[in-house]
Amino acid sequence: MTAHSNSQRLFEEAQNYIPGGVNSPVRAFKAVGGNPLFIKSAKGAYITDQDDNAYIELINSWGPMILGHGNTHIQAAVAKAIEDSLSFGAPTAIEVEMAKMICGMVPSIEKVRMVNSGTEATMSAIRLARGFTGRDKIIKFEGCYHGHGDSFLIAAGSGAITLGQPDSPGVTQGVARDTLTAPYNNLDSVHEIVKANDGQIAAIIVEPVAGNMGCVLPAEGFLEGLRSLCDEEGIVLIFDEVMTGFRLSKAGAQGVFNVQADITTLGKIIGGGMPVGAYGGKKEIMDYVSPQGPVYQAGTLSGNPVAMAAGLSMLTQINEDETLYADLSKATEALEEGFQANLDELGLGYTMNRIGSMISLFFTEEHVVDFDTAKTSNIELFGKYFREMLNNGVYLAPSQYESLFISKSITTDAVGKIVEANRIALKAIHYNTKS
């Protein structure tokens, strides 16, 4: 066992001043048991905690650090930007460059507005869709996460056509009523909802590859079906690519599946580790945004020059790296094959979903295609697995319902170490399960 006394002490102190001791709930390790590690630094594939334990990490700050930690180009760009002051609240040249870069990389984005987080991007995108269509209701999918905006915190399983119920206290019934939910990958259900709410649906928002119920791929024809339904009904199709944007290809999931969104929301990788989000899409829709159009959306620190410097460096490196996505895919595939060999050797039931550098190991034998099937996973077993992996030097996302992210720093050597940790961890939980 490794020592965690500094993290322990910090967590106890943190709980006196910060709700739950953390600034974002999933960091608290509640889903896996134990206390969170307080992180001091990171470089490449490794993260170091306050007790100087080093771990290979597969979270990448929940996605952004696709090039690995401590990228020297991004760090240099930030250091240079800081010399000119940290914020102006006035237009800057780098915002133009950043917007041009995004429009160049994601074909469906003709104009883009920068914000400060993925949550802000999705909140703004649905306001825009409502303003553009003059309709109130939106459809989201069970198990898809779109940040913590009121409209998105609606319970799964409340029945596709029945009225949504608030998933969180503080979300009003009025807001909940306007959010309708359908099971992921279920086109028929979406058609039914649209029919029952004729002419009232402003937008359908979807993670084109879901990453927030674990990694769940779109079934064949699902995204295409949403696209044609939206075309027929004048509904705005929003792809929430906060996770998949610049992760699955330069053009995100859209670039992989060749289905274009009307509005795309971005976050995570786009800021290179700084708090950045963006939403963009068709000119005719984006021109509804203030001050060009009537839909109000603003931000004191939006397009912040230091954040833009980090983001632009990140996107430039991605754009110029011709083998990045093939390399990431290859490393992740090696991981998948290693895990599979370990699992099969022990005869453990599992499902593994992967696309590119997103991968989830579910402790269930069911095909995981939506939230209901994801929930068949053995959460207790995952918690044990998480703790064993940590003991063996690998830091996973502390929840079964997360995708792992592979960064460019995960080399063949790191893959070997992760697979070996996985073998030891699986053996440990296997024996525990039997005893």
Ligand X SMILES: *Cc1c(COP(=O)(O)O)cnc(C)c1O
Active-site annotation, residues: 145, 240, 268
Site string for ligand X, 43-82 (x = CB under 6 A): ----------------------------------------
Q: Which residue stretch of 75-83, 132-140, 204-212, 320-328 sits at the interface with ligand X (rule: CB under 6 A)? A: 204-212
Position 117 contacts ligand X (CB under 6 A): yes
Q: Which of 55, 145, 11, 50 is nearest to 396 (CA)?
A: 55
Q: Which of 306, 250, 246 is nearest to 76 (CA)?
A: 306
DSSP per-residue codes, 107-119: TT-SEEEEESSHH
Q: Which residue stretch of 111-119, 216-224, 281-289, 405-413 sits at the interface with ligand X (rule: CB under 6 A)? A: 111-119
* 3-state SS, one letter per residue, for 182-227: ECCCCHHHHHHHHHHCCCCEEEEEECCCECECECECCCCCHHHHHH
The count of other CB atoms within 10 Å of the CB of residue 268 is 27
- Least Å distance, CB 63 to ligand X, is 7
Which residue of 119, 124, 189, 373 would you call a contact of ligand X, by CB under 6 A? 119
Q: How far is CA 7 from the centre of its chain?
A: 26
| Residue with tokens 């992740």, as numbered in its chain | 332
For ligand X, give the closer residue by CB, 27 or 427. 27
Which residue of 74, 243, 270, 285 would you call a contact of ligand X, by CB under 6 A? 243
> What contacts 25, CB < 8 A, 6 or more positions away?
none
For ligand X, give the closer residue by CB, 278 or 429. 278
For the purposes of burial, counting CB atoms within 10 Å of the CB of 155, is it exposed (0-12), middle (13-18) or buried (19 or more)? middle
For ligand X, give the closer residue by CB, 111 or 268. 268
Q: Please, what's the b/e burial string for 300-313 (b: 16 or more CB within 10 A of its CB; e: otherwise)?
A: eebbbbbbbbbbbb
For ligand X, give the closer residue by CB, 185 or 212. 212
Position 207 contacts ligand X (CB under 6 A): yes
Q: Which residue stretch of 92-100, 117-125, 163-171, 320-328 sits at the interface with ligand X (rule: CB under 6 A)? A: 117-125
- Least Å distance, CB 276 to ligand X, is 9
Q: Which residue stretch of 46-54, 124-132, 240-248, 392-400 sits at the interface with ligand X (rule: CB under 6 A)? A: 240-248
For ligand X, give the closer residue by CB, 117 or 249. 117
For the purposes of burial, counting CB atoms within 10 Å of the CB of 434, is it exposed (0-12), middle (13-18) or buried (19 or more)? exposed
For ligand X, give the closer residue by CB, 356 or 393. 356
What is the rounded CA–CA span in Å between residue 285 and residue 293?
9
Q: How far is CA 71 from the centre of its chain?
A: 21
Considering only residues 263 through 302, tell me which ones interact with ligand X, judged by CB under 6 A: 267, 277
What is the rounded CA–CA span in Å between residue 154 and residue 137?
13
- Least Å distance, CB 140 to ligand X, is 11
Q: Which of 175, 174, 154, 157 is nearest to 165 (CA)?
A: 154
- Least Å distance, CB 403 to ligand X, is 9
Which residue of 53, 122, 189, 304 would you call a contact of ligand X, by CB under 6 A? 122
Position 118 contacts ligand X (CB under 6 A): yes
Q: Which residue stretch of 213-221, 238-246, 330-338, 420-428 sits at the interface with ligand X (rule: CB under 6 A)? A: 238-246
> What contacts 56, CB < 8 A, 6 or more positions away?
45, 46, 393, 394, 395, 410, 414, 417, 418, 421
Which residue of 142, 178, 240, 388 would you call a contact of ligand X, by CB under 6 A? 240
Considering only residues 131 through 170, tell me which ones interact with ligand X, judged by CB under 6 A: 145-147
| Residue with tokens 């001050």, as numbered in its chain | 291
For ligand X, give the closer residue by CB, 4 or 127. 127
Q: Which of 232, 243, 147, 224 is nearest to 195 (CA)?
A: 232
- Least Å distance, CB 369 to ligand X, is 18
Position 247 contacts ligand X (CB under 6 A): no
Contacts with ligand X: how many residues (CB under 6 A)? 15
Residue 176 three-state SS: helix
Position 242 contacts ligand X (CB under 6 A): yes
DSSP conformational letter for 126: H
Position 304 contacts ligand X (CB under 6 A): no
Q: Which residue stretch of 26-34, 198-206, 235-243, 280-288 sits at the interface with ligand X (rule: CB under 6 A)? A: 235-243
Residue of this chain nearest to ligand X (CB atom): 118
Give me the residues that bind ligand X (CB under 6 A), please: 117-119, 122, 145-147, 207, 211-212, 240, 242-243, 267, 277
